[in-house]
């Protein structure tokens, strides 16, 4: 697909980073690490267990807004999310968000996430990154349609499935949706943020969700911070929401998670 320039820049930069990483840790070593991991926790099932499931995100910073969470403790955040009603945890592992794979490792090793699956949220375009994700304990990965050709998307999805991981495949417009549906996704994420302008609009979910077959799990991403937002997208058949910034910037994270996971007044 044709990606916004910001995505092209990120992919170009990550390609260089990836070459360095491949020279440090081989695929064989990643496969060895994978063999020592417990089986992946079922991300799809986790999103099917409540009216509108919350994927709570661990996010320290963003390229546009800078530092979001100065007192950043991934393990503590995961523990708070798990204890207050989240259905899954998303961990940003890209350095542009001051993220790293070790955050997943720390969370898994501490047991803070309990039985919740962890999604590796990154700009994934190379099979190596899928191996990396599973080797470091991820249970699912994000695949962004805007940076992937159809054949690559299909290959990465199949590779993640072969390791027991589900793929959350992200779209932003109808063209991307048409391409994604051809690879038979189980979970489709609708990003309400336009990466060309960085504006968010929940109407993107309202428009695209109507075009998605009812058997698919739909996740609404970006621009969601209140119960009202969740009630709005739930009426479109959305199965889950991914919320990051509104949680990590909250003065009372536990309370915010509880509010977003209250299952009353939902109209699916």
Catalytic residue among 90, 113, 170, 225: 170
Catalytic residue among 222, 225, 234, 256: 222
Catalytic residue among 90, 160, 191, 234: 191
Per-position b or e across 108-142, b if 16+ CB within 10 A of its CB: beeebbeebbbbbbbbbbbebbbbbbbbbbbbbbb
Tokens of 178: 């048409």
Catalytic residue list contains 121? yes
Catalytic residue among 192, 221, 225, 256: 221
CA atoms within 13 A on the CB side of 39: 6
Catalytic residue list contains 191? yes
Catalytic residue among 60, 108, 121, 157: 121
Catalytic residue list contains 245? no
Do the strands 217-221 and 61-62 form a parallel or antiparallel pair, or are they unpaired? Answer: unpaired
Catalytic residue list contains 5? no
Catalytic residue among 59, 60, 108, 216: 59
Query: 6 by DSSP, 3-state: which?
Result: helix
The angle formed by the CA atoms of residues 115, 180 and 174, to the nearest 5 degrees, is 115
Catalytic residue list contains 170? yes
Catalytic residue list contains 73? no
Positions marked catalytic: 57, 59, 121, 170, 191, 221-222
């Amino acid at each position: 697909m044709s990606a916004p320039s910001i995505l092209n820049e990120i992919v170009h930069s990550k390609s260089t980073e990836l070459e360095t990483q491949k020279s440090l840790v081989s695929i064989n070593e990643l496969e060895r690490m994978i063999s020592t991991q417990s089986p992946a926790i079922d991300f799809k099932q986790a999103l099917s267990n409540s009216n509108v499931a919350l994927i709570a995100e661990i996010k320290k910073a963003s390229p546009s807004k800078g530092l979001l969470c100065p007192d950043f403790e991934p393990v503590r955040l995961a523990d708070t999310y798990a204890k207050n009603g989240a259905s899954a945890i998303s961990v940003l592992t890209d350095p542009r968000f001051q993220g790293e794979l070790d955050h997943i490792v720390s969370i898994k090793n501490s047991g803070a996430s309990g039985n919740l699956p962890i999604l590796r949220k990154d700009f994934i375009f190379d099979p190596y990154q899928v191996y990396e994700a599973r080797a470091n304990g991820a249970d699912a990965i994000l695949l962004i349609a805007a940076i992937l050709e159809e054949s690559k998307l299909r290959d990465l999805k199949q590779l993640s499935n072969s390791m027991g991981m589900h793929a959350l495949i992200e779209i932003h417009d109808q063209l991307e949706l048409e391409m994604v549906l051809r690879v038979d996704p189980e979970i489709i994420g609708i990003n309400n943020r336009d990466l060309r302008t960085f504006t968010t609009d929940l109407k993107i979910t309202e428009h695209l969700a109507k075009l998605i077959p009812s058997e698919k799990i739909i996740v609404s991403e970006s621009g969601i911070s209140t119960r009202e937002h969740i009630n709005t997208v739930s009426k479109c058949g959305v199965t889950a929401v991914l919320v990051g910034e509104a949680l990590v910037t909250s003065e009372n994270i536990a309370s915010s998670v509880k509010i977003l996971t209250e299952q009353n007044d939902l109209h699916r």
